[in-house]
Protein backbone atom coordinates (compact mmCIF):
# COMPACT_ATOMS: atom_id res chain seq x y z
CA UNK A 1 0.00 0.00 0.00
CA UNK A 2 1.22 3.46 -0.89
CA UNK A 3 2.04 5.54 2.20
CA UNK A 4 2.14 9.33 2.32
CA UNK A 5 3.51 9.97 5.79
CA UNK A 6 1.88 10.55 9.14
CA UNK A 7 -0.61 13.44 9.07
CA UNK A 8 0.53 14.48 5.59
CA UNK A 9 -1.70 16.25 3.11
CA UNK A 10 -1.65 13.16 0.91
CA UNK A 11 -2.83 10.95 3.77
CA UNK A 12 -5.71 13.32 4.56
CA UNK A 13 -6.76 13.73 0.93
CA UNK A 14 -6.73 9.94 0.45
CA UNK A 15 -9.12 9.48 3.39
CA UNK A 16 -11.42 12.23 2.13
CA UNK A 17 -11.44 10.65 -1.34
CA UNK A 18 -12.25 7.25 0.20
CA UNK A 19 -15.12 8.76 2.17
CA UNK A 20 -16.44 10.33 -1.02
CA UNK A 21 -16.26 7.00 -2.83
CA UNK A 22 -18.50 5.14 -0.38
CA UNK A 23 -21.70 5.86 -2.31
CA UNK A 24 -20.01 6.00 -5.71
CA UNK A 25 -21.78 9.26 -6.45
CA UNK A 26 -19.69 12.35 -5.87
CA UNK A 27 -21.39 15.70 -6.39
CA UNK A 28 -19.71 18.58 -8.19
CA UNK A 29 -19.84 20.50 -4.90
CA UNK A 30 -17.94 17.70 -3.13
CA UNK A 31 -15.32 17.63 -5.88
CA UNK A 32 -14.96 21.40 -5.62
CA UNK A 33 -14.58 21.24 -1.82
CA UNK A 34 -12.00 18.46 -2.09
CA UNK A 35 -10.06 20.51 -4.64
CA UNK A 36 -10.20 23.57 -2.35
CA UNK A 37 -8.91 21.53 0.61
CA UNK A 38 -6.12 20.10 -1.51
CA UNK A 39 -5.18 23.56 -2.81
CA UNK A 40 -5.08 24.86 0.76
CA UNK A 41 -2.50 22.13 1.44
CA UNK A 42 -0.48 23.10 -1.63
CA UNK A 43 -1.79 20.31 -3.83
CA UNK A 44 -3.28 20.50 -7.33
CA UNK A 45 -6.20 18.57 -8.84
CA UNK A 46 -3.62 16.35 -10.51
CA UNK A 47 -2.37 15.34 -7.05
CA UNK A 48 -5.90 14.22 -6.10
CA UNK A 49 -6.14 12.20 -9.31
CA UNK A 50 -2.73 10.63 -8.61
CA UNK A 51 -3.77 9.68 -5.07
CA UNK A 52 -7.00 8.12 -6.35
CA UNK A 53 -5.10 6.24 -9.08
CA UNK A 54 -2.59 4.92 -6.52
CA UNK A 55 -5.45 3.72 -4.35
CA UNK A 56 -7.05 2.00 -7.35
CA UNK A 57 -3.78 0.14 -8.04
CA UNK A 58 -3.55 -0.91 -4.39
CA UNK A 59 -7.23 -1.91 -4.53
CA UNK A 60 -6.71 -4.24 -7.49
CA UNK A 61 -3.93 -6.04 -5.63
CA UNK A 62 -5.85 -6.21 -2.34
CA UNK A 63 -9.02 -7.53 -3.96
CA UNK A 64 -7.08 -10.62 -5.06
CA UNK A 65 -6.42 -11.74 -1.49
CA UNK A 66 -8.49 -9.62 0.89
CA UNK A 67 -11.43 -11.31 2.61
CA UNK A 68 -12.48 -8.49 4.95
CA UNK A 69 -13.88 -5.17 3.82
CA UNK A 70 -14.49 -1.93 5.69
CA UNK A 71 -18.25 -1.51 6.19
CA UNK A 72 -18.70 -4.58 3.97
CA UNK A 73 -17.80 -2.65 0.81
CA UNK A 74 -15.70 -4.46 -1.81
CA UNK A 75 -14.08 -1.16 -2.81
CA UNK A 76 -12.79 -0.69 0.74
CA UNK A 77 -10.50 -3.59 1.67
CA UNK A 78 -10.01 -3.44 5.41
CA UNK A 79 -6.21 -3.52 5.19
CA UNK A 80 -6.15 -0.48 2.87
CA UNK A 81 -8.62 1.61 4.86
CA UNK A 82 -6.99 0.78 8.18
CA UNK A 83 -3.59 1.52 6.66
CA UNK A 84 -4.89 4.93 5.58
CA UNK A 85 -6.42 5.54 9.02
CA UNK A 86 -3.13 4.67 10.75
CA UNK A 87 -1.42 7.51 8.85
CA UNK A 88 -3.52 10.01 10.80
CA UNK A 89 -2.07 10.30 14.28
CA UNK A 90 -3.11 12.21 17.39
CA UNK A 91 -6.63 12.72 18.69
CA UNK A 92 -6.90 16.35 17.60
CA UNK A 93 -5.75 15.59 14.05
CA UNK A 94 -8.06 12.58 13.87
CA UNK A 95 -11.00 14.69 15.05
CA UNK A 96 -10.19 17.37 12.45
CA UNK A 97 -10.08 14.78 9.66
CA UNK A 98 -13.38 13.25 10.87
CA UNK A 99 -14.91 16.75 10.85
CA UNK A 100 -13.62 17.34 7.31
CA UNK A 101 -15.08 14.00 6.17
CA UNK A 102 -18.39 14.85 7.82
CA UNK A 103 -18.53 18.30 6.21
CA UNK A 104 -17.55 16.96 2.81
CA UNK A 105 -20.16 14.19 2.92
CA UNK A 106 -22.90 16.53 4.14
CA UNK A 107 -22.28 18.99 1.30
CA UNK A 108 -24.04 18.86 -2.01
CA UNK A 109 -27.15 16.76 -2.18
CA UNK A 110 -26.86 15.44 1.35
CA UNK A 111 -25.65 12.14 2.69
CA UNK A 112 -26.60 8.48 2.91
CA UNK A 113 -26.47 5.90 5.68
CA UNK A 114 -23.20 4.44 4.36
CA UNK A 115 -21.53 7.88 4.51
CA UNK A 116 -22.37 8.19 8.20
CA UNK A 117 -21.41 4.56 8.81
CA UNK A 118 -18.01 5.13 7.18
CA UNK A 119 -17.23 8.22 9.29
CA UNK A 120 -18.48 6.53 12.49
CA UNK A 121 -16.27 3.51 11.81
CA UNK A 122 -13.24 5.77 11.28
CA UNK A 123 -14.00 7.56 14.55
CA UNK A 124 -14.32 4.24 16.37
CA UNK A 125 -11.09 2.90 14.82
CA UNK A 126 -9.23 5.96 16.12
CA UNK A 127 -10.87 5.68 19.55
CA UNK A 128 -12.13 9.27 19.56
CA UNK A 129 -15.81 8.43 20.08
CA UNK A 130 -16.17 10.74 23.10
CA UNK A 131 -14.58 13.76 21.39
CA UNK A 132 -16.65 13.07 18.27
CA UNK A 133 -19.94 12.93 20.20
CA UNK A 134 -19.01 16.11 22.06
CA UNK A 135 -18.36 17.88 18.75
CA UNK A 136 -21.65 16.61 17.25
CA UNK A 137 -23.56 17.84 20.31
CA UNK A 138 -21.92 21.25 19.91
CA UNK A 139 -23.53 21.54 16.47
CA UNK A 140 -26.97 21.55 18.10
CA UNK A 141 -26.12 24.10 20.79
CA UNK A 142 -27.18 27.70 20.16
CA UNK A 143 -24.40 30.13 19.37
CA UNK A 144 -24.31 33.53 21.05
CA UNK A 145 -23.53 36.34 18.60
CA UNK A 146 -23.68 40.01 19.64
CA UNK A 147 -25.86 39.26 22.64
CA UNK A 148 -28.41 37.35 20.53
CA UNK A 149 -28.86 33.62 20.33
CA UNK A 150 -28.79 32.08 16.88
CA UNK A 151 -29.03 28.39 15.96
CA UNK A 152 -26.18 26.80 14.09
CA UNK A 153 -27.32 25.44 10.75
pLDDT of the residue at 149: 46
Give ∠ CA 90-22-75 in degrees, rounded to 5.
Answer: 95
- Please indicate, yes or no, if residue 85 is contained in any of the structural domains: yes
- Please indicate, yes or no, if residue 95 is contained in any of the structural domains: yes
- Determine the structural domain holding residue 101 and report its residue range: 9-150
- Please indicate, yes or no, if residue 14 is contained in any of the structural domains: yes
- For the chain, the domain total comes to 1
- Please indicate, yes or no, if residue 3 is contained in any of the structural domains: no
Rounded-to-integer distance, Cα 152 and Cα 12, Å: 26
pLDDT of the residue at 97: 95
Rounded-to-integer distance, Cα 145 and Cα 130, Å: 27
- Please indicate, yes or no, if residue 117 is contained in any of the structural domains: yes
Element (H, E) at 64: helix 45-65
- Please indicate, yes or no, if residue 142 is contained in any of the structural domains: yes
pLDDT of the residue at 110: 63
Do the beta carbons of residue 92 and residue 135 sit within 8 Å?
no
Do the beta carbons of residue 42 and residue 49 sit within 8 Å?
no
pLDDT < 70 stretches in the chain: 108-111, 142-153
- Please indicate, yes or no, if residue 127 is contained in any of the structural domains: yes
Rounded-to-integer distance, Cα 127 and Cα 122, Å: 9
Q: Beta-strand (E) ranges in 2-83?
A: none
**Eight-class DSSP state of 103:** H
pLDDT of the residue at 30: 81
Do the beta carbons of residue 87 and residue 9 sit within 8 Å?
no
- Please indicate, yes or no, if residue 1 is contained in any of the structural domains: no
Amino acid sequence: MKTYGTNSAGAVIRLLALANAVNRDVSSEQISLLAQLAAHKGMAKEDILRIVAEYERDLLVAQQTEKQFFIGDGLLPRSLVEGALKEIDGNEMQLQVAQLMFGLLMSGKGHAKNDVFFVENCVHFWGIDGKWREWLRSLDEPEVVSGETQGVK
